[in-house]
């Protein structure tokens, strides 16, 4: 355990399919990563919803967010995987998504649980920076604190409206980021009675390990108690460790309104702090070696198995014994 979070290390209790070589699914640039993801979606026969930024924000032809869903359309519980705002985190998540699709993870889903994959690599307008350490994008490409505050204050009322077409006055007062995320919420989470959102991140933790940190969910109200799914307990002798969701996950949580939501950040360790400080700019938060990528996959599968077990048994997520 890390404070009130869960520390995961490489686990022995994985299937042979889980342990298959997956490193080649992790691309080194966004074009290749997107191509891998789309090809895997097509091979699995899945529909892909595409979402674009306004042309004044993002002039490129490709969408900034692409979403697909595995499982039954009427599932009452939806697990959503998102990624952080950095390009490194998007590339990592993209490799995980592609491996999930190529390994037919849908076969593991119970009848009442669906899985939504939200693919976005440093999406324009939804992230402040591209690659970590890279120069900041233009101010228009940032999701400012003002935009987030405006989105949160209007999301709940906005989601209750039938649609922006039926109520154009509401649409004109809501930031385009909020409208985009509300569209995702309406299409992929409309029937969900419970949503579990896991934000995939990379950071300066120990190489080959991961922290699973719960998020406190905020809806313009005082902080509410965290859902017990991720094993949080009040301990006066131990300081809390909360995960901070990225812009994409943060906005989606707001778009989902008052539905039952459990949120967590799954952060994969990359290097020691000393190696990060000495590495300078570049891709220190997205290692290129196959061993790290294989471990990221196995840690994801470990977390996913634990999550399915916890949801089935109505118990908190608990770590397996480390190898």
Question: For 321, phi and psi rounded to 5 degrees?
Answer: -65, 130
User: For the chain, how many structural domains are there in total?
Assistant: 1
Position 319 in a domain: no
Closest of 37, 43, 84 to residue 62, by C-alpha: 37
Position 33 in a domain: yes
Residue 218's pLDDT is what? 54
| CATH number where 202 lies | 3.40.630
Residue 95's pLDDT is what? 97
How far are the Cα atoms of 25, 102, 115, 310 from residue 39, in angstroms, in the given order? 11, 10, 18, 32
3-class state of residue 1 by DSSP: coil
Residue 136's pLDDT is what? 38
CB distance 204 to 271 below 8 Å: yes
| Six-digit token string for 180 | 């985009």
What gap in Å lies between CA 310 and CA 312, rounded to an integer?
Answer: 5
Residue 36's pLDDT is what? 97
Q: Which domain holds residue 85?
A: 6-313
Position 318 in a domain: no
Question: For 162, phi and psi rounded to 5 degrees?
Answer: -60, -50
Residue 120's pLDDT is what? 95
Position 321 in a domain: no
Alpha helices in the chain (DSSP H): 30-43, 87-102, 145-160, 168-173, 176-188, 247-255, 273-279, 290-313
Residue 170's pLDDT is what? 55
How far are the Cα atoms of 104, 110, 225, 291 from residue 295, in angstroms, in the given order? 19, 25, 32, 6
Position 1 in a domain: no
Position 194 in a domain: yes
Position 320 in a domain: no
Residue 196's pLDDT is what? 93
CB distance 26 to 91 below 8 Å: yes
How far are the Cα atoms of 25, 164, 236, 272, 300 from residue 215, in angstroms, in the given order? 29, 30, 19, 24, 18
Residue 276's pLDDT is what? 55
Q: Is the dihedral of CA 223, 225, 230, 234 positive or negative?
A: positive
What gap in Å lies between CA 26 and CA 87, rounded to an integer?
Answer: 13
pLDDT digit string (tens) for the chain, length 323 residues: 444 455 555 544 455 555 568 999 999 999 999 999 999 999 999 999 999 988 888 777 889 999 999 999 999 999 999 998 889 999 999 999 999 999 998 898 999 999 999 999 988 877 643 344 443 333 333 444 444 444 444 444 544 443 444 555 555 666 888 889 999 999 999 889 999 999 999 988 888 889 888 886 655 443 444 556 776 555 556 655 677 888 888 888 888 876 688 889 999 998 755 555 555 544 678 888 888 999 999 999 999 998 998 898 877 776 544 33
Residue 254's pLDDT is what? 83
User: What torsion do the CA atoms of 32, 34, 40, 41 make, to the nearest 10 degrees?
Assistant: -160
Count other Cβ atoms within 10 Å, centred on residue 161: 14
């Amino acid at each position: 355990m890390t404070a009130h979070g869960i520390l995961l290390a490489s686990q022995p209790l994985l299937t042979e399919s889980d342990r298959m070589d997956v490193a080649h699914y992790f691309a080194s640039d966004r074009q290749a990563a997107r191509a891998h993801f789309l090809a895997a979606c097509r091979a699995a026969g899945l529909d892909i919803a595409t979402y674009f930024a306004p042309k004044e924000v993002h002039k490129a032809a490709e969408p900034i967010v692409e979403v697909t869903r595995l499982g039954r359309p009427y599932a009452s519980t939806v697990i959503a995987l998102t990624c952080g705002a950095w390009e490194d985190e998007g590339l990592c998540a993209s490799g995980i998504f592609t491996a999930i699709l190529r390994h037919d993870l849908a076969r593991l889903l119970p009848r009442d649980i669906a899985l939504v994959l939200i693919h976005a690599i440093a999406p324009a307008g939804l992230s402040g920076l591209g690659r970590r350490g890279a120069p900041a994008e233009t101010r228009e490409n940032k999701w400012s604190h003002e935009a987030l505050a405006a989105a949160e204050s209007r999301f709940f009322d906005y989601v209750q409206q039938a649609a922006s077409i039926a109520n154009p006055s509401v649409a004109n007062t809501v930031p385009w980021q909020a409208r985009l995320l509300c569209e995702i919420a309406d299409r992929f989470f409309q029937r969900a009675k419970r949503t579990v959102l896991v934000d995939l991140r990379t950071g300066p933790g120990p190489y080959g390990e991961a922290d699973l940190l719960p998020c406190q969910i905020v809806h313009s109200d005082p902080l509410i108690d965290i859902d017990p799914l991720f094993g949080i307990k009040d301990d006066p002798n131990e300081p809390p460790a909360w995960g901070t969701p990225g812009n994409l996950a943060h906005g989606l949580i707001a778009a989902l309104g008052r539905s039952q939501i459990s949120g967590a950040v799954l952060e994969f360790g990359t290097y020691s702090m000393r190696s990060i400080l000495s590495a300078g700019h570049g891709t220190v938060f997205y290692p290129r070696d196959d061993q790290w990528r294989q471990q990221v996959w196995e840690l994801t599968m470990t977390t996913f198995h634990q999550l399915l077990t916890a949801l089935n048994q109505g118990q908190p997520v608990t770590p397996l014994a480390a190898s």
